[in-house]
Amino acid sequence: MKKIILALFGFFWMSTSVFAIDRYRMETTVGGQFANDWFMSFQERVEFRQSDGTDGLGYHHSDVGVGYNFHPKSIFDGFKVGLNYRHIYEYNNTDWAVEYRPYAWFEPSWDMPLDLVFSVKNELEFRDGETEETWRYRIRPKVQHTPTGLYVSSKLSHNLNSTNAAKSGELDSNDFEAGIERDVINNFSGKAFYRYQHTYTQAAGWEPGYDMIGVGVQYTW
C-alpha cells in the first residue's frame, strides 16, 4: 500500500512538473454483481479546473447504471451492455449549469497476444441541458496490458443533430488517455491517468486542448 501511495504521489509530481495541468479529476465507483451476469454501479466524479474562467471546482456528476455481461463463444471474447443515468453540474464562467444524461452502451472486447485486451465502448447519449436537447454518440477504443494494468485509449464524440457547438455528424471532442488500473487490496482497485482533452466548436473550430490528470478508486463487492 505504501508503494502505491508513493507511486501516485510521484505521478502527480511528475505530471504537474512536465505538463501545464489545467484540470484535476477524482472519482469513486461502487458496484458489483447482483444476479447471474447482472451488475450495477454508482459513481461520483469531481473536477477542479483552472480554465474557461473557472479556478476551483468546475464539474460534478453522479452516475448510476445497470448492465449485463454476455459470454459469447465466437465473435467476441467479452461483451457487455448497459443503461445508465448521469446527473451533471458544470460551472460555465459565471454560474452552474445542469444536464440530465441517460445513455445506453455496449462494449465488445477481444483477447490479444502479449497479454493485451482490446475493447471498444460505444455510448448513445441523450443530453438534456438548460439551453438545448441533443443526441450524441461516443466511442472509446482501449488497449490494456493485463499483468501491469497499463492502458491507452481515445474517446471520440459525434453529434447526431446540430447543436450550438457542432453540426450533425461532426466530432465535438477527441480525448486521449494513458494510465494504469490495478487491484490494490481485497475488493478495491485504483487508477491514475493523464488525459488530453480536445474540443470543437463551430465558432472556433478545434480549440487548444486541456491537460488533465486524475485518480480513481473502485470498490467491487
Place of cell 478545434: 206
Q: Which pTM does this prediction carry?
A: 0.87
- Residue 144 confidence (pLDDT): 98
Q: Concatenate the DSSP letters of all residues of 137-199 into one string.
A: EEEEEEEEETTT-EEEEEEEEEESS--SS--TT-EEEEEEEEEEEEEEETTEEEEEEEEEEEE
Q: Please answer whether residues 151 and 179 qualify as being in contact, where contact means their C-beta atoms are separated by less than 8 angstroms.
A: yes
**Segments in the chain forming alpha helices (H):** 2-18
Neighbours of 86 (CB within 10 A): 18
Domain boundaries, the chain: 2-220
CATH of 2-220, one of 3.40.50.300, 3.90.1150.10, 2.60.120.920, 2.40.160.40: 2.40.160.40
Give phi and psi for 9, each to the nearest 5: -60, -45
What is the full per-residue pLDDT of the chain (221 aa) written as tens digits? 555 545 555 555 555 545 578 899 999 999 999 999 999 999 999 999 986 667 899 999 999 999 999 988 788 999 999 999 999 999 987 889 999 999 999 999 999 999 999 999 999 999 999 888 999 999 999 999 999 999 999 999 998 886 665 666 677 888 999 999 999 999 999 999 999 998 877 666 777 789 999 999 999 99
Short-list 124, 120, 117, 115, CA closest to 83: 124
